[in-house]
Chain A
Amino acid sequence: DAGVIQSPRHEVTEMGQEVTLRCKPISGHDYLFWYRQTMMRGLELLIYFNNNVPIDDSGMPEDRFSAKMPNASFSTLKIQPSEPRDSAVYFCASSSWTGGFSYGYTFGSGTRLTVV
């Protein structure tokens, strides 16, 4: 199992540009989460999906952020237009509720986004 795979690992973009972050969850996991990590705010949950359906997007900062999960093996987080305050590390995580128990999340290595 290759784990949760995120791409790109690093992204530097200019303010106003569109940014797309990608995530491939662990096969068989039915939950997918997008988190943002900054020094000031720590780990913030942006949105999560269950069986490809968005369940809670209350953490998405504003309309510039959108996320999709077209199938069980792929999700994207898009920022359009990007702003310097969006600079952060974005993590994707997946998990399974097999048998009704939570086994915790498996995190990807993250995408470090810098908006200049």
Chain B
Amino acid sequence: AQSVTQLDSQVPVFEEAPVELRCNYSSSVSVYLFWYVQYPNQGLQLLLKYLSGSTLVKGINGFEAEFNKSQTSFHLRKPSVHISDTAEYFCAVSGVMGAQKLVFGQGTRLTINP
């Protein structure tokens, strides 16, 4: 079974500042990793995913994440945030083999202050 821990429930940052949202996972098997974003009153939208290959993954809206197998982490970063990035961000993991059930973290609320 897999589990995900998002280390920060809320992250406030100023506009144009860099941000990192932290995610650690636990699994006894190889994994796929995902970040989703949820804007107010909307569904979840895929930001980026790690399936294999390069450990640095680039996604939409200027976000990127780095898979670190030794630290079992998949932190999300953006070098300069905008007001429009205000949203809830979810890290998720699934096992590579077998059922593709996604396990989500509790979410990190990113608030951008002007």
A-side residues, CB < 8 A to B, are 4, 31, 33, 42-43, 45, 48, 55-56, 91, 93, 95, 97, 101-110
B-side residues, CB < 8 A to A, are 32, 34, 36, 42-46, 49, 51, 90, 92, 94, 99-107
Q: Are A102 and B104 in contact (CB under 8 A)?
A: no
Q: Are B43 and A43 in contact (CB under 8 A)?
A: no
Closest approach, in angstroms, between the C-beta of A91 and any C-beta of chain B? 6
Q: Are A104 and B104 in contact (CB under 8 A)?
A: no
Q: Are A102 and B51 in contact (CB under 8 A)?
A: yes
Chosen A-B contacts, 10 in total, with CB atoms closer than 8 Å, are A33-B101, A45-B101, A95-B100, A101-B51, A102-B100, A104-B46, A105-B102, A106-B46, A107-B43, A110-B43
Q: How far is the CA of A4 from the CA of B45 in the complex (A)?
A: 12
Main secondary structure of the interface of A (DSSP, over half): strand
Q: How far is the CA of A104 from the CA of B31 in the complex (A)?
A: 12
Q: Are A56 and B99 in contact (CB under 8 A)?
A: yes
